[in-house]
């Protein structure tokens, strides 16, 4: 078999046609490997679990979709701030632009103007596999005999090594260190063996284990695919047509979250179901269930923290869910205090819920600098020592002399919590009671969320009393596991909550376990 390869992925901006592929084994792309060398970024060092990615796609014949895709990714920016990319299909020609940075930094009018076509795939990334460099940005492009495919992936495979070994044995040369490239090449491999797009995608997905919500673009249409557990979300929307007389095919949108639909005026149709593939072409939307054992296990952290509060999960409002977990928290852990404040923005709905049940007024006590974003200018050491003041500034006139309940959604390492508590006391708070709207995070995630290895998780090694002492609060309470799940108004069986329990719904291979489950060596051995 020929030495197939995915397209050089460091190319920041390319346009490429099937005809060119056929005349040239080595595509002449604007590829400069040195671009990869200086793009490495520091780990964010965030004290929060980091979301893996946002995926997006549009099928809208007759419409130039690059700007719509840009705004979709803009709405999904919270899911990944390291890199962004868009691929568009203009007949057989694919246009791709991707780079490190926020969506607003990666694209401008000129670049979007060059991304021609009415089929798109977009991606915004935080690295959970592979390092943070432009070569690992997505979408991934791969050449096949049927044309190119562009793939955007949210989640993590747990059998990446096996998949890559198989592809290398099948003479594929892989260009990157990301699992997503393995999925794209696995699909392409099936195409090269003679199957059509649909059969190829299904065969490839059946080789993949782990978490994957995918948007796959081809010259014929787009696919939305979810793994059999539906760990990461993916929704379908309908884009209204500008011309109501247009009798052509329905215009569809795929998005990690409904906020990506709202921003472009698309209407939520439904979720892509666990183990489902939707194939959207000129013939409409066709649904295929490719897994024999689909089982709902949506990541509960999507509900608590990752997804935007204005998004819906399975048609239910996340803002309402987060307010409800505040109700549970207030009932489970009452405390006398003067005010309830939130760690903005993610703690706000639960803090409001806490206030509603406790009757203690909710006020703003910390102001967030919403423009810090991700800056390429590193702060000085002196500025680092100032800690959280870069992002959060306490309101002295609100806090002075007050007994404060502060609500946050999670504590991972505890470093930020300690700084926040100190800032509240420095601003005059007489008591600080911290309430967390999720249970203690004791286990790492293997399905696309960066929660660090187990030995870095403060709740894996310390009791609640020890954590309270370390972060310097007068009292600390975490929401119960049952409360977190009861507030969903669904069966607890429908969610993955492994980072609170260690009960992983998808088996983790031993070498991968050892890489993160540092405190459970004996259990693994
Ligand atoms: S382990 Fe935790 S973060 Fe990972 S998918 Fe499960 S609930 Fe979500």
pLDDT in tens, the chain (525 residues): 333 444 433 334 666 554 444 332 222 222 222 222 222 222 334 566 665 799 999 999 999 999 999 999 999 999 998 999 999 999 989 999 999 999 999 999 999 999 999 999 999 998 655 666 787 899 999 999 999 999 999 999 999 999 999 999 999 988 877 889 999 999 999 999 999 999 999 999 999 999 999 999 999 999 999 999 999 999 999 999 988 788 899 999 999 999 999 999 999 999 999 999 999 999 999 999 999 888 999 999 999 999 999 999 988 899 999 999 999 999 999 999 999 999 998 899 999 999 999 999 999 999 988 766 555 566 676 766 665 667 789 999 999 999 999 999 999 888 889 999 999 999 999 999 999 999 999 999 999 887 768 888 999 999 999 999 999 999 999 999 999 999 999 999 999 999 999 999 999 988 888 777 767 654 444
Is the CB of residue 497 below 6 angstroms from any atom belonging to ligand 1?
yes
CB 123 within 8 A of CB 55: yes
Atom of ligand 1 nearest to the CA of 448: 4
CB 318 within 8 A of CB 345: no
Strands 339-342 and 316-317: what pairing? unpaired
pLDDT confidence of residue 51: 59
Kindly name the residue from 53, 205, 299, 496 that is annotated as catalytic.
Answer: 53
Closest Cα to atom 4 of ligand 1: 445
Omega before 139 cis (within 30°)? yes
Atom of ligand 1 nearest to the CA of 498: 1
Rounded CA-CA distance 439/416 in Å is 17
pLDDT confidence of residue 64: 97
Q: In what order do the strands lie in the sheet with 53-59?
A: 13-16, 93-100, 83-90, 119-125, 53-59, 252-255, 235-238, 267-271
Rounded CA-CA distance 441/97 in Å is 37
Residue-range domains of the chain with CATH:
4-295 (3.60.20.10), 318-370+381-493+500-524 (3.40.50.2020)
Is the CB of residue 485 below 6 angstroms from any atom belonging to ligand 1?
no
Omega before 201 cis (within 30°)? no
CA of 501 to the centre of ligand 1 (A): 10
Closest Cα to atom 5 of ligand 1: 299
Is the CB of residue 100 below 6 angstroms from any atom belonging to ligand 1?
no
CB 221 within 8 A of CB 59: yes
Closest Cα to atom 7 of ligand 1: 497
Is the CB of residue 225 below 6 angstroms from any atom belonging to ligand 1?
no
CA of 250 to the centre of ligand 1 (A): 35
CA of 257 to the centre of ligand 1 (A): 17
Secondary element (H or E) of residue 415:
helix 415-426
CB 55 within 8 A of CB 80: no
CA of 504 to the centre of ligand 1 (A): 8
Strands 213-217 and 147-154: what pairing? antiparallel
Taking Cα atoms as reference points, which of 292, 306, 325 lies closest to residue 445? 306
Is the CB of residue 499 below 6 angstroms from any atom belonging to ligand 1?
yes
Is the CB of residue 496 below 6 angstroms from any atom belonging to ligand 1?
yes
pLDDT confidence of residue 379: 67
Atom of ligand 1 nearest to the CA of 497: 7
Rounded CA-CA distance 402/425 in Å is 10
Is the CB of residue 333 below 6 angstroms from any atom belonging to ligand 1?
no
pLDDT confidence of residue 376: 54
Is the CB of residue 506 below 6 angstroms from any atom belonging to ligand 1?
no
Atom of ligand 1 nearest to the CA of 444: 1
Taking Cα atoms as reference points, which of 392, 386, 472 lies closest to residue 432? 472
Closest Cα to atom 8 of ligand 1: 299
Rounded CA-CA distance 486/406 in Å is 23
Secondary element (H or E) of residue 460:
helix 458-461
CB 484 within 8 A of CB 300: yes
Atom of ligand 1 nearest to the CA of 300: 7
pLDDT confidence of residue 42: 28
Closest Cα to atom 2 of ligand 1: 499
Question: Does the annotation mark 53 as catalytic?
Answer: yes
DSSP symbol at 272: P
CA of 498 to the centre of ligand 1 (A): 6
CB 221 within 8 A of CB 242: no
CA of 445 to the centre of ligand 1 (A): 5
């Amino acid at each position: 078999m020929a030495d197939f390869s995915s397209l050089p992925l460091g190319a920041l901006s390319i346009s490429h046609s099937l005809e060119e592929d056929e005349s040239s084994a080595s595509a002449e792309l604007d590829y400069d490997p040195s671009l990869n060398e200086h793009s490495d970024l520091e780990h964010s060092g965030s004290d929060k679990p980091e979301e893996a990615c946002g995926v997006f796609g549009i099928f809208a014949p007759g419409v130039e979709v690059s700007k719509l895709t840009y705004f979709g990714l803009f709405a999904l920016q919270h899911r990944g701030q390291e890199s962004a990319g868009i691929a568009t299909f203009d007949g057989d020609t694919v246009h791709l632009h991707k780079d490190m940075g926020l969506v607003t930094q990666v694209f401008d009018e000129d670049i979007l103007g060059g991304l021609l076509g009415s089929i798109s795939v977009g991606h915004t990334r935080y690295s959970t596999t592979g390092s943070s460099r432009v070569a690992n940005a997505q979408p991934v492009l791969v050449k096949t005999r049927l044309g190119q495919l562009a793939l955007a992936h949210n989640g993590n495979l747990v059998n990446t090594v096996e998949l890559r070994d198989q592809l290398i044995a099948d003479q594929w040369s892989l260009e990157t260190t990301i699992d997503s490239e393995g999925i794209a090449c696995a699909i392409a491999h099936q195409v090269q063996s003679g199957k059509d797009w649909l059969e190829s995608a299904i065969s490839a997905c059946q080789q993949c284990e782990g978490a994957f919500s995918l948007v796959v673009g081809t010259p014929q249409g787009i696919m939305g695919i979810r793994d059999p557990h539906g760990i990461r979300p993916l929704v379908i929307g309908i884009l209204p047509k500008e011309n109501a007389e247009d009798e052509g095919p329905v215009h569809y949108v795929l998005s990690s979250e409904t906020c990506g639909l709202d921003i472009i005026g698309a209407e939520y149709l439904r979720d892509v179901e666990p183990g489902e593939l939707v194939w959207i072409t000129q013939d409409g939307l066709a649904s295929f269930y490719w897994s024999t054992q689909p089982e709902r296990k949506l990541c509960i952290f999507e509900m608590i923290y990752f997804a935007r509060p204005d998004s819906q999960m399975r048609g239910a409002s996340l803002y309402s869910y987060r307010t409800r977990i505040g109700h549970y928290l207030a009932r489970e852990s009452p405390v006398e205090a003067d005010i309830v404040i939130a760690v903005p923005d993610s703690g706000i709905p639960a803090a409001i819920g806490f206030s509603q049940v406790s009757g203690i007024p909710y006020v703003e006590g910390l102001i967030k600098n919403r423009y810090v974003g991700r800056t390429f200018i590193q702060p000085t050491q002196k500025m680092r020592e100032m800690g959280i003041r870069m992002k959060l500034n306490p309101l002295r006139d609100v806090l002075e002399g007050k007994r404060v309940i502060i609500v946050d959604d999670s504590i991972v390492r505890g470093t930020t919590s300690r700084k926040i508590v100190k800032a509240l006391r420095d601003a005059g708070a007489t008591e600080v009671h911290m309430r967390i709207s999720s249970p203690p995070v004791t286990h790492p995630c293997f399905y696309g969320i960066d929660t660090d290895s187990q030995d870095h998780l403060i709740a894996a090694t310390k009791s609640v009393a020890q954590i309270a002492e370390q972060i310097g609060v007068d009292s600390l309470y975490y929401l119960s596991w049952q409360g977190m799940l009861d507030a969903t108004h669904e069966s607890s069986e429908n969610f993955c909550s492994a980072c609170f329990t260690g009960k992983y719904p998808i088996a983790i291979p031993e070498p991968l376990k050892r890489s993160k489950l540092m405190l459970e060596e004996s259990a693994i051995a």
